[in-house]
Chain A
Amino acid sequence: MAVSLATRLVRRRSPPLLWRRSFSMSAVDAEKEVVVVPELPPFDYSPPPYAGPTAEEILAKRREYLSPSILHSYKNPVNIVEGKKQYLFDEKGRRYVDAFGGIATVCCGHCHHDVVEAIVNQTKKLQHSTVLYLNHAITDFAQALASKLPSDLKVVFFTNSGTEANELAMLIARLYTGCHDIISLRNAYHGNATGTMAATAQSIWKFNVVQSGVHHAVNPDPYRGIFGSDGEKYARDVQDIINFGTSGNVAAFISEAIQGVGGIIELAPGYLPVVYNAIKKAGGLFIADEVQAGFGRTGSHFWGFEAHNVVPDIVTIAKGIGNGIPLGAVVTTPEIAEVLTRRSYFNTFGGNPVCTAAGLAVLKVIEKEQLQQNAFVVGSHLKERLTALKDKYELIGDVRGRGLMLGVELVTDRELKTPAKNETLHVMDQMKELGVLIGKGGYYGNVFRITPPLCFTKEDADFVADAMDLTLSRM
């Protein structure tokens, strides 16, 4: 494939010329302008030959036996059979840079030795018992996790997913305040169970079933929002909702520091502190959904909310917490946590020995390998390179995010910000052919989400940028 790509003759054009392939080159010019196809950074590993079912067979079985709602990326979905660090391998042994991290989930790297070892060892020793009996794995991890959180956020509840964590956080807030109303942001994604689907705010993720008790505030989106980067003006909408849409008291405000599914949207500066004050005055709690932005991914901080100078009352965690193992957590204060003693609360698999051993291993790896720092260094470099691409190609309307949580929004008209949906799909497919697996998001599906394993290197970042550059130059 690389060889055939290399023989394609394409000349790079500068904006704002038409995005059209030129066929006017003479033979002599063609020879001079041979395109250099970016090469994957070196990686000293060869996967063993794959002898399992082919992509076609698997796709057929998925269609026959699995829910029709299961989605897949790419015209020809890729059959991934092995993973190592920041790379994935398909059925033919082809290597890809995983710039999506299984949706911001694999934070230490695929099959990280330390994490795998922790899982295997615990599985051999005791796979599952129940929290009705004691075991040190859950307490060791809870202590380690709590030590990462500021202030009085010291009590941990374990769940099996971000959705479960957010469901529990919302329940706790309602019990603690005696109020029912919760405020979330438009464009947010907080889960797809009944309660969290209400908090989620994108029509494509909301089934037409009863969803109540949640209000959706105007999104403080610096790029598309009506008030640009003026955080305070957006915050007035939250106060308006409290004044008019509730009894004047609310249970909670919940938000992602950087909206993941929503297309890596950072909150307008100054927004969160003003909202925090409004919520407090209304007797509510602030829930920080750190399912995607947590665990050092933003580079500058361990938690996304730390960039906004507010300390939440409740933090929800999942995805990266276990490098892919089914694990979520809710961390709050002892005072708030007390509400769950009013009735029985139980979660069968929550805090099970295998998952908590893995979670603890993840924390140790992030620390030992300085992955937060790496996210900062490599993320800054990548953002810089992507921003340079924006200067080069009109199709890139916005580059945003922090650390290794980055978004690239494609638009066909920069002034109108018209979502470039088809172009996004095309670029995604072409980048896959070049060896990059990238995420897609945003309400219009026109935003590339770059949330790779935190062991991503500068060479990987350059490769992603080069692949995008080449692909865009060919449009």
Chain B
Amino acid sequence: MAMVKRSIGVCKRLSGSSSCLSTSTATSDNDIARRLQLPPFDYKPRPYKGPLADEVFAKRKKFLGPSLFHFYQKPLNIVEGKMQYLFDENGRRYLDAFAGIVTISCGHCHPEVLNAIMEQSKLLQHTTTIYLHHAIADFAEALASKVPGNLKVVYFVNSGSEANDLAMLMARLYTGNMGMISLRNAYHGGSSSTIGLTAMNTWKYPIPEGEVHHIMNPDPYRGIFGSDANRYARELQDHIDYGTSGKVAGFIAETIQGAGGAVELAPGYLKLVYDIVHKAGGVCIADEVQCGFARTGSHFWGFETQGVIPDIVTMAKGIGNGLPLAAVVTTPEIASVMAQKLQFNTFGGNPVCSAGGLAVLRVLDKEKRQSHCADVGSHLIQRLRSLMQIHDIIGDVRGRGLMVGIEFVTDRKEKTPAKAETTALHERFRELGILVGKGGLHGNVFRIKPPMCFTKDDADFVVDALDYAISKL
């Protein structure tokens, strides 16, 4: 915290103390901080009577796995959520610019989603897919109608990791090949098999990961070929020629890399790569766990921004607004390989999650969240790019719709990751009332991926806060 000067204005507002001295400098800071107000929100949270942050934290350390990490020097105890806002134990409101890691798509405790969940829970919480039930079929139909081409067969699972694991299995069975290809900087899961597809050392435990090839990331900002998709694609061809038998099972990519720091793929890359992979006998898998469900604004699915149709699509996170729900959608031909043996998932497609998922799709349509993401997202990106003009520490602003990344560097030419500064800004944001994500291998990227009910006022607040926070570094 030594790197962050505490704002007297913020101190005054937060503590309500009248002991803060008023000077000309303080007056100036005070004026700025006073204008940095969360947009109005007509809701008062219930008084919290549960355990406090310290108690919860102590129990976490004692009873939960040590790998469970947290943000902030003093971790937040979040007890209530409404739309794009979260409330802590003191009733303080925060703008959630991270959405539980790109998961809350419609907004916290969206009434229509809640209602669907509660009604189904009252009627039938769980049975099993060996009996019939309409919820899973209705949701599958609605979901399939959103996916282009012949991608009409849906498998339900409970997480993105499970979905990617299943997709990888399908790819291997369908092609008869074993080699998978993923991009460096990708995140596709943390299970012992999907950890192979994931390509950031911070997430990879040292275990055998099967045959997975991690190829050069077509990163327009840090990649050696800039935005030249052709040269990155040629790199993949080279890798297939030399590093494989010439045959591969599948290629998997996030159209915008989530955990990797909202990195967009070089324009035109997927089109070239899908062709190369098909020629090598493989299938193409689009990991839409984060960039799916209208978040990119221009399209419902991220892969549509690159003008391709994958063979398999995986989805999770936003699909259920926080419910443990995920899916794999593919063609009937590819899906048929799963009939070779028995395949089962106890909770996959359970009535409550299916009802919740269907409600999410309806809300996204009814509230026109895709066009909303395009509007608010482009406004946000535009304003952030203006900020980049006046603050050298902002090395890159990227993303689409409400899937935005801001990369901080101490040297624009060298692109040196500004790790300490990012951490300081992250803390400052929390103080100002904004919860934002952090990503990239060096933890120097702000990930702004809020609930899609995020407004322009929210966006303006984020940018104004960033402007202020950077000026205070």
Seen from chain A, the residues whose Cβ lies within 8 Å of a Cβ on chain B are 178-181, 186-187, 198, 201-204, 206-213, 215-216, 218-219, 236-237, 240-249, 443
Task: Please state if B242 and A210 are interface contacts (CB–CB under 8 Å).
Answer: no
- At the interface, is chain A mostly helix, strand, loop or mixed? loop
B205: interface (CB < 8 Å):
yes
Residue of A with least CB distance to B217: A244
B456 interface residue per 8 A CB criterion = no
Known contacts A208-B177, A210-B178, A244-B184; is-contact A215 B213 (Cβ 8 Å): yes
Let me know if B244 and A181 touch, CB within 8 A.
no
- Docked-complex contact B201 and A248, CB < 8 angstroms: yes
CB <8 Å contact, B184 and A245: yes
The winner among B185, B204, B213 for most chain A CB atoms within 10 A is B204
Residues of B contacting A218 with CB < 8 Å?
Answer: 235, 238
B213 and A216 within 8 A (CB):
yes
Known A187-B242, A209-B178, A443-B242: A247·B201 in contact at CB below 8 Å: yes
User: What 8 pairs across the A-B complex have the smallest Cβ distances?
Assistant: A248-B201, A244-B184, A186-B242, A245-B214, A216-B243, A203-B246, A206-B245, A247-B206
Interface size class of B (residues with CB under 8 A): 35 or more
The answer to whether A202 touches B178, judged by C-beta atoms less than 8 angstroms apart, is no
Residue B199 at the A interface, CB < 8 A? yes
Q: Is the interface of B mostly helix, strand, loop or mixed?
A: loop
B202 touches A212 (CB 8 A): no
- Please, could you name 18 A-B residue pairs with CB atoms under 8 Å apart, sorted by A? A180-B208, A181-B206, A203-B246, A204-B246, A207-B245, A209-B245, A210-B178, A210-B211, A212-B209, A216-B213, A219-B242, A240-B184, A241-B184, A243-B200, A244-B441, A248-B204, A249-B206, A443-B242
**Which residues of the other chain, A, contact B239 by a CB distance below 8 angstroms?**
186, 216
One digit per residue, 1 when the CB lies within 8 angstroms of any chain A CB and 0 when it does not, for chain B 159-192 equals: 0000000000000000011110000110000000
Could you tell me the distance in whole angstroms from the C-beta of A281 to the nearest C-beta in chain B? Answer: 12
Whole-angstrom distance between the Cβ of B221 and the nearest chain A Cβ: 15
Complexed CA–CA distance, A210 and B441 (Å) = 29
Chain B CB within 10 A, most for which of A186, A213, A216, A244: A244
Query: Distance in Å from the Cβ of A374 to the closest Cβ of chain B?
Result: 34
Q: How many angstroms between the C-alpha atoms of A450 and B413 in the bound complex?
A: 46
Contact with B202, one of A210, A211, A241, A248 (Cβ below 8 angstroms): A248
Q: Is the CB of A244 within 8 A of B242?
A: no
Q: B207–A244 contact, CB under 8 A?
A: no
* Beta-carbon contact of A244 and B245 below 8 Å: no
Would A245 and B199 count as touching, CB distance under 8 A?
yes
**Separation of A178 and B224 alpha carbons in the complex (Å):** 32
CA distance A6 to B179 in the complex (A): 54
Point out the residues of chain A lying under 8 angstroms from B235, CB to CB: 218
A241 CB contacts on chain B under 8 angstroms: 184, 214
B200 CB contacts on chain A under 8 angstroms: 243-244
Most buried by B among A204, A215, A240, A249: A240
Name A240's contact: one of B202, B216, B247 (CB within 8 Å): B216
Hey, which chain B residues are within 8 Å of A180, CB to CB? 206-209
Task: Say how far A468's CB is from chain B's closest CB, in angstroms.
Answer: 28
- Report the nearest A residue to B195, measured CB to CB: A247
The smallest beta-carbon distance between A309 and chain B, in angstroms, is 26
- Does B332 have its Cβ within 8 Å of any Cβ on chain A? no
Please state if B209 and A213 are interface contacts (CB–CB under 8 Å): yes
Check B206–A179 contact: CB distance below 8 A. yes
Report whether B241 and A443 are in contact in the complex, using a CB–CB cutoff of 8 Å.
Answer: yes
Contact B247 A208 (CB under 8 A): yes
CB distance from A202 to the nearest CB of B (A): 6
Report how far A209 CA is from B243 CA in the complex, Å: 13
Indicate whether A203 sits within 8 Å of B240 (C-beta atoms), given known contacts A210-B211, A244-B184: yes
Q: Would A201 and B205 count as touching, CB distance under 8 A?
A: no
A216 touches B199 (CB 8 A): no
State which of A187, A213, A219, A243 has its C-beta within 8 Å of the C-beta of B208. Answer: A213
**Complex contacts, A201 vs chain B, CB 8 Å:** 242-243
Do A244 and B201 touch (CB < 8 A)?
yes
Chain A residue nearest to B281 (CB atoms) is A208
* B213 and A203 form a contact (CB under 8 A): no
Q: Which of B202, B206, B216, B246 contacts A178 (CB 8 A)?
A: B206
